[in-house]
Amino acid sequence: MAVTLEKPVTIERLIELLNIDLELEYSAAIQYINHSAVMTGAAYGDIIKELKIHANEEIGHAMILSGQIDYLGGSPTVEVGPIHVSKDNDEMLEQDMEGEDDAIKRYKMRIEQAEQIKEFALAQQLRNILAVEQEHAMDLKQALGR
Ligand SMILES: [Fe+2]
Ligand SMILES: [Fe+2]
Nearest ligand to residue 32 Cα = 2
Nearest ligand to residue 23 Cα = 1
Q: How far is CA 101 from CA 40, 98, 130, 141, in A?
A: 24, 5, 11, 11
Q: State the distance from the centre of ligand 1 to the C-alpha of 83, rounded, in angstroms.
A: 14
Nearest-angstrom CA–CA distance, 57 and 141? 18
| Ion ligand 2: residues, CB < 5 A | 133, 136
pLDDT, tens digit (0-9, with 9 covering 90-100), for 66-114: 999 999 999 999 999 999 999 999 999 999 999 999 999 999 999 999 9
Question: Which residues neighbour 115 within 8 Å (Cβ) at sequence distance 6 or greater?
Answer: 123
Q: State the distance from the centre of ligand 1 to the C-alpha of 2, rounded, in angstroms.
A: 33
What's the average model confidence in pLDDT over 17-30?
98
pLDDT, tens digit (0-9, with 9 covering 90-100), for 103-128: 999 999 999 999 999 999 999 999 99
Q: State the distance from the centre of ligand 2 to the C-alpha of 13, rounded, in angstroms.
A: 23
